[in-house]
Amino acid sequence: MTNLGAVLFAVLAGSSTALEAFINGELGKNTTALIATFISLVVGAVFFLISILVTGDLKTLVNINEINPKLLLGGILGGLVIYFTVRAIPNLGVSNTLTLIVVSQMLLSFFIDSYVLGQGTMHLYNYIGAALLVIGTFFILN
Protein backbone atom coordinates (compact mmCIF):
# COMPACT_ATOMS: atom_id res chain seq x y z
CA MET A 1 0.00 0.00 0.00
CA THR A 2 1.25 3.48 -0.78
CA ASN A 3 1.59 6.22 1.83
CA LEU A 4 -1.33 8.03 0.17
CA GLY A 5 -3.50 4.96 0.63
CA ALA A 6 -2.44 4.67 4.27
CA VAL A 7 -3.22 8.35 4.85
CA LEU A 8 -6.65 7.88 3.28
CA PHE A 9 -7.36 4.90 5.55
CA ALA A 10 -6.20 6.89 8.60
CA VAL A 11 -8.52 9.79 7.68
CA LEU A 12 -11.39 7.35 7.16
CA ALA A 13 -10.63 5.76 10.55
CA GLY A 14 -10.70 9.17 12.22
CA SER A 15 -13.95 10.11 10.51
CA SER A 16 -15.47 6.75 11.42
CA THR A 17 -14.39 7.23 15.03
CA ALA A 18 -16.15 10.59 15.26
CA LEU A 19 -19.34 9.25 13.67
CA GLU A 20 -19.24 6.08 15.77
CA ALA A 21 -18.78 8.08 18.97
CA PHE A 22 -21.72 10.33 18.12
CA ILE A 23 -24.02 7.47 17.13
CA ASN A 24 -23.06 5.29 20.11
CA GLY A 25 -23.48 8.28 22.43
CA GLU A 26 -27.01 8.74 21.12
CA LEU A 27 -27.65 5.01 21.43
CA GLY A 28 -26.44 5.17 25.03
CA LYS A 29 -29.01 7.90 25.75
CA ASN A 30 -31.75 5.50 24.61
CA THR A 31 -30.47 2.57 26.67
CA THR A 32 -27.49 2.04 28.98
CA ALA A 33 -23.81 2.32 28.14
CA LEU A 34 -23.36 -1.42 28.54
CA ILE A 35 -26.31 -2.27 26.27
CA ALA A 36 -25.22 0.34 23.71
CA THR A 37 -21.73 -1.21 23.66
CA PHE A 38 -23.19 -4.69 23.22
CA ILE A 39 -25.48 -3.60 20.37
CA SER A 40 -22.63 -1.79 18.63
CA LEU A 41 -20.33 -4.81 18.87
CA VAL A 42 -22.98 -7.29 17.74
CA VAL A 43 -23.93 -5.17 14.72
CA GLY A 44 -20.23 -4.79 13.87
CA ALA A 45 -19.63 -8.53 14.26
CA VAL A 46 -22.57 -9.37 11.98
CA PHE A 47 -21.38 -6.83 9.40
CA PHE A 48 -17.87 -8.27 9.35
CA LEU A 49 -19.12 -11.87 9.33
CA ILE A 50 -21.14 -11.03 6.21
CA SER A 51 -18.04 -9.33 4.75
CA ILE A 52 -15.97 -12.47 5.46
CA LEU A 53 -18.57 -14.65 3.76
CA VAL A 54 -18.82 -12.35 0.73
CA THR A 55 -15.04 -12.15 0.25
CA GLY A 56 -14.57 -15.90 0.69
CA ASP A 57 -12.24 -15.43 3.66
CA LEU A 58 -14.05 -18.00 5.80
CA LYS A 59 -11.11 -20.45 5.65
CA THR A 60 -8.94 -17.91 7.46
CA LEU A 61 -11.58 -17.43 10.15
CA VAL A 62 -11.78 -21.19 10.72
CA ASN A 63 -8.02 -21.24 11.55
CA ILE A 64 -8.55 -18.94 14.54
CA ASN A 65 -7.18 -21.63 16.89
CA GLU A 66 -3.70 -20.86 15.53
CA ILE A 67 -3.85 -17.31 16.90
CA ASN A 68 -2.08 -16.49 20.16
CA PRO A 69 -4.90 -16.01 22.72
CA LYS A 70 -3.37 -12.79 24.11
CA LEU A 71 -3.99 -11.19 20.70
CA LEU A 72 -7.72 -11.63 21.26
CA LEU A 73 -7.55 -8.91 23.93
CA GLY A 74 -7.91 -6.39 21.09
CA GLY A 75 -11.60 -7.27 20.92
CA ILE A 76 -12.03 -6.56 24.61
CA LEU A 77 -10.12 -3.28 24.30
CA GLY A 78 -12.27 -2.30 21.30
CA GLY A 79 -15.38 -2.94 23.37
CA LEU A 80 -13.97 -0.90 26.23
CA VAL A 81 -13.30 1.99 23.85
CA ILE A 82 -16.97 2.00 22.87
CA TYR A 83 -18.14 1.66 26.48
CA PHE A 84 -15.88 4.40 27.85
CA THR A 85 -16.82 6.70 24.96
CA VAL A 86 -20.54 6.16 25.51
CA ARG A 87 -20.07 6.94 29.21
CA ALA A 88 -18.00 10.10 28.57
CA ILE A 89 -20.00 11.76 25.78
CA PRO A 90 -23.08 12.77 27.83
CA ASN A 91 -20.86 14.82 30.17
CA LEU A 92 -18.08 16.00 27.85
CA GLY A 93 -19.67 16.08 24.39
CA VAL A 94 -18.28 14.42 21.27
CA SER A 95 -15.45 16.87 20.51
CA ASN A 96 -14.06 17.01 24.06
CA THR A 97 -14.29 13.23 24.41
CA LEU A 98 -12.52 12.61 21.11
CA THR A 99 -9.88 15.23 21.91
CA LEU A 100 -8.99 13.38 25.09
CA ILE A 101 -9.07 10.04 23.26
CA VAL A 102 -6.75 11.23 20.49
CA VAL A 103 -4.27 12.85 22.90
CA SER A 104 -4.14 9.75 25.10
CA GLN A 105 -3.70 7.60 21.97
CA MET A 106 -0.81 9.75 20.80
CA LEU A 107 0.99 9.77 24.14
CA LEU A 108 0.67 6.00 24.60
CA SER A 109 1.64 5.45 20.95
CA PHE A 110 4.91 7.32 21.48
CA PHE A 111 5.69 4.99 24.37
CA ILE A 112 4.74 1.86 22.39
CA ASP A 113 6.78 2.89 19.34
CA SER A 114 9.85 3.79 21.40
CA TYR A 115 9.91 1.18 24.13
CA VAL A 116 7.74 -1.77 23.10
CA LEU A 117 8.44 -1.90 19.37
CA GLY A 118 11.89 -0.36 19.66
CA GLN A 119 11.37 1.78 16.57
CA GLY A 120 13.90 4.39 17.54
CA THR A 121 14.08 6.98 20.22
CA MET A 122 11.84 9.96 20.52
CA HIS A 123 13.30 13.13 19.11
CA LEU A 124 12.96 16.65 20.46
CA TYR A 125 10.20 17.33 17.91
CA ASN A 126 8.17 14.45 19.34
CA TYR A 127 8.40 15.91 22.84
CA ILE A 128 7.48 19.37 21.56
CA GLY A 129 4.53 17.88 19.64
CA ALA A 130 3.36 15.98 22.72
CA ALA A 131 3.58 19.14 24.83
CA LEU A 132 1.59 21.06 22.22
CA LEU A 133 -1.03 18.30 22.21
CA VAL A 134 -1.44 18.64 25.97
CA ILE A 135 -1.54 22.45 25.76
CA GLY A 136 -4.02 22.30 22.89
CA THR A 137 -6.19 19.88 24.86
CA PHE A 138 -6.24 22.28 27.78
CA PHE A 139 -7.50 25.08 25.49
CA ILE A 140 -10.08 22.87 23.77
CA LEU A 141 -11.50 21.62 27.07
CA ASN A 142 -11.62 25.08 28.63
pLDDT digits (tens, 9 = 90+) for 114-134: 888 888 777 889 889 989 999
- Which pLDDT does position 2 carry in this prediction? 87
CB-based contact 65:119 (threshold 8 Å): no
What is the pLDDT at residue 59?
A: 83
If one compares 97 and 121, the residue with the highest pLDDT of the two is: 97
Q: Quote the CA–CA distance of 73 and 40 in Å, as a whole number.
A: 17
d(CA 45, CA 43): 5
In the structure, what pLDDT confidence band is assigned to residue 1 with cuts at 50, 70 and 90? Answer: confident
pLDDT reported for residue 79: 95
pTM of the model: 0.85
- Please give the angle made by the CA atoms of 104, 109 and 110, to the nearest 5 degrees: 105
Confidence of residue 56 (pLDDT cuts 50, 70, 90): confident
